[in-house]
Amino acid sequence: MEIVTAPEPTGARVRLRPEIAALPPYRQGRPAPADGFKLSSNENPFGPLPSVVEVVASAAHDINRYPDATALALRERLAERFGVTADEVLIGAGSVALLAQFILAAAAPGDEVVYSWRSFEAYPGLVTVAGATSVMVPNRADHGHDLDAMAAAITDRTRVVIVCSPNNPTGVVVTAAEFEAFMAKVPADRLVLLDEAYAEFVRGDGSADDAVDGATLIGRYPNLVMLRTFSKAYGLAGLRVGYAIGPVELLDAARATAIPLGVTAAAASAAIASLEPAAEAELLERVGAIADRRDRVHATLVAQGWPVPVARSNFVWLPAGEATTAVAERLFDAGIVTRAFAPDGIRISIGEEESVDILLTILGELVPGSQEGHPQ
Ligand X SMILES: *Cc1c(COP(=O)(O)O)cnc(C)c1O
Interface with ligand X (CB under 6 A): 42, 94-96, 120, 164, 168, 195, 197, 229, 231-232, 237, 242
Instruction: Tell me how far, at minimum, the Cβ of 126 lies from ligand X, in Å.
Output: 10
Instruction: Tell me how far, at minimum, the Cβ of 3 lies from ligand X, in Å.
Output: 51
Smaller CB distance to ligand X: residue 145 or 232?
Answer: 232
346: left (phi over 0), alpha (psi -120 to 50) or beta: beta
H/E element, 135: strand 133-138
Instruction: Tell me how far, at minimum, the Cβ of 361 lies from ligand X, in Å.
Output: 27
Judge contact between 194 and 226, C-beta under 8 A: yes
30 alpha-carbon distance from chain centroid = 19
Length of the chain: 376
Written as one letter, the residue type at 91 is I
Instruction: Tell me how far, at minimum, the Cβ of 47 lies from ligand X, in Å.
Output: 17
Smaller CB distance to ligand X: residue 167 or 323?
Answer: 167
What's the CA gap between 182 and 165, in Å, rounded?
14
Angle between helices 50-59 and 265-274 (to 10 degrees): 160
Half-sphere exposure of 127 (CA within 13 A, CB side): 21
Instruction: Tell me how far, at minimum, the Cβ of 282 lies from ligand X, in Å.
Output: 21
Instruction: Tell me how far, at minimum, the Cβ of 74 lies from ligand X, in Å.
Output: 14
Smaller CB distance to ligand X: residue 217 or 323?
Answer: 217
What is the number of the residue whose Cβ is closest to ligand X?
94
46 alpha-carbon distance from chain centroid = 18
Smaller CB distance to ligand X: residue 158 or 314?
Answer: 314
Judge contact between 340 and 312, C-beta under 8 A: no
Instruction: Tell me how far, at minimum, the Cβ of 166 lies from ligand X, in Å.
Output: 9
Smaller CB distance to ligand X: residue 197 or 250?
Answer: 197
Smaller CB distance to ligand X: residue 105 or 323?
Answer: 105
* CA nearest neighbour of 197 among 148, 234, 146: 234
Cα diameter, the chain = 84
Angle between helices 95-106 and 248-256 (to 10 degrees): 100
Judge contact between 202 and 173, C-beta under 8 A: yes
Smaller CB distance to ligand X: residue 55 or 197?
Answer: 197
> How does DSSP assign 243-271, residue by residue?
EEES-HHHHHHHHHTSPTT-S-HHHHHHH
Instruction: Tell me how far, at minimum, the Cβ of 365 lies from ligand X, in Å.
Output: 29
Smaller CB distance to ligand X: residue 290 or 323?
Answer: 290
Smaller CB distance to ligand X: residue 266 or 366?
Answer: 266
Contact partners, residue 120, CB within 8 Å, separation at least 6:
164, 167, 168, 169, 195, 197
Instruction: Tell me how far, at minimum, the Cβ of 96 lies from ligand X, in Å.
Output: 3
Question: In this structure, are strands 37-38 and 336-337 parallel, antiparallel, or unpaired?
Answer: parallel
